[in-house]
Structure 1
Amino acid sequence: IEVEGAEPGDAVEVEFLEFKDMGWGWTAVIPGFGFLAQDSYTTPIDLSGPGLKIWKSDGEHSRATFGNIHVKVRNFPFPGVIGTALRAPGRWSTIPPRENGGNMDVKHLTVGSRVILPVFKRGALLSIGDTHLAQGDGEVCGSAIEAPLTVKLRVRLIKNAGISQPIFYFSKVKEMDYDEYLAYPGMSPNLWEASKIAVKGIISILSRYMTPLEAYMLSSATLDLKVSQVVDVPNWIVTAYFPLDVIEEREVREELRELDKVVG
Structure 2
Amino acid sequence: MSIHSVRRHQCNLAWDNSIAPVAHVESGDTVTFDCIDASNGQVQRNSTVASISNMIFEQLDPVHGPVFIKGALPGDTLQIDILDVETAGWGWTGLIPGFGLLADEFTEPGLKIWKFTEDNKFAWFDEAKGIKVPLRPFPGEIGLARGVPGAFSTIPPYNTGGNVDTKFLSAGSTLYLPVEVEGGLLSVGDGHAAQGDGGTAIETPMKLTVRVTVRKDRPYTKTPHFRTVVGQEDAGDYYATTGIEPDIRDATRSAVHHMIEFLVQRFGIDRKEAYILCSVAGDLRMHEVVDMPNFVVGMLLPRSLFPADSD
TM-score with structure 1 length normalisation? 0.60
Name the structure 2 match of 1:121: 181
Deviating beyond 4 angstroms after TM superposition, the runs of 4 or more aligned structure 1 residues are: none
What is the aligned counterpart of 1:49 among 102, 108, 111?
A: 108
Partners of 2:87 and 2:191 within 8 A in 1? no
In the alignment, structure 1 residue 26 sits paired with structure 2 residue 84: no
Q: Kindly state the Cα deviation for residue 14 of structure 1 after the two structures are TM-superposed.
A: 0.6
Q: Kindly state the Cα deviation for residue 71 of structure 1 after the two structures are TM-superposed.
A: 2.6
Looking at structure 1, the residues matched to 194 and 181 of structure 2 have their Cα atoms a distance apart, in angstroms, of 32
Which has the bigger relative contact order, CA under 8 A and spacing at least 6? 1
Name the structure 1 match of 2:142: 82
What is the aligned counterpart of 1:170 among 221, 228, 237?
A: 228
Q: CA RMSD in A?
A: 2.5
Q: Kindly state the Cα deviation for residue 65 of structure 1 after the two structures are TM-superposed.
A: 3.1
SS at match of 1:14: strand
What is the aligned counterpart of 2:122 among 37, 57, 61?
A: 61
Partners of 1:9 and 1:160 within 8 A in 2? no
Looking at structure 2, the residues matched to 136 and 147 of structure 1 have their Cα atoms a distance apart, in angstroms, of 15
Looking at structure 2, the residues matched to 191 and 158 of structure 1 have their Cα atoms a distance apart, in angstroms, of 30
TM-score with structure 2 length normalisation? 0.51
Partners of 1:10 and 1:157 within 8 A in 2? yes
Q: Which runs of 5+ in 1 are unaligned?
A: 42-46, 178-189, 193-224, 228-264
Matches within 5 A, 1:181-200: none
Q: Kindly state the Cα deviation for residue 116 of structure 1 after the two structures are TM-superposed.
A: 0.3
More strand by share: 2
The one-letter amino acid paired with 2:90 is W
Looking at structure 1, the residues matched to 95 and 142 of structure 2 have their Cα atoms a distance apart, in angstroms, of 23
Q: Kindly state the Cα deviation for residue 191 of structure 1 after the two structures are TM-superposed.
A: 7.7
Distance of aligned partners of 1:176 and 1:53 in 2 relative to their CA distance in 1, 3 Å threshold: farther
In the alignment, structure 1 residue 9 sits paired with structure 2 residue 75: yes
Name the structure 1 match of 2:277: none
Deviation digits for residues 114-151 of structure 1 (CA, Å, limit 9, x no counterpart): 11000001110011111100001121xxx310001111
What is the aligned counterpart of 2:155 among 95, 115, 121?
A: 95
Name the structure 2 match of 1:107: 167
Q: Kindly state the Cα deviation for residue 64 of structure 1 after the two structures are TM-superposed.
A: 3.3
Partners of 1:30 and 1:51 within 8 A in 2? yes
Q: Percent identity?
A: 44
Distance of aligned partners of 1:174 and 1:17 in 2 relative to their CA distance in 1, 3 Å threshold: same
Q: Kindly state the Cα deviation for residue 172 of structure 1 after the two structures are TM-superposed.
A: 5.4
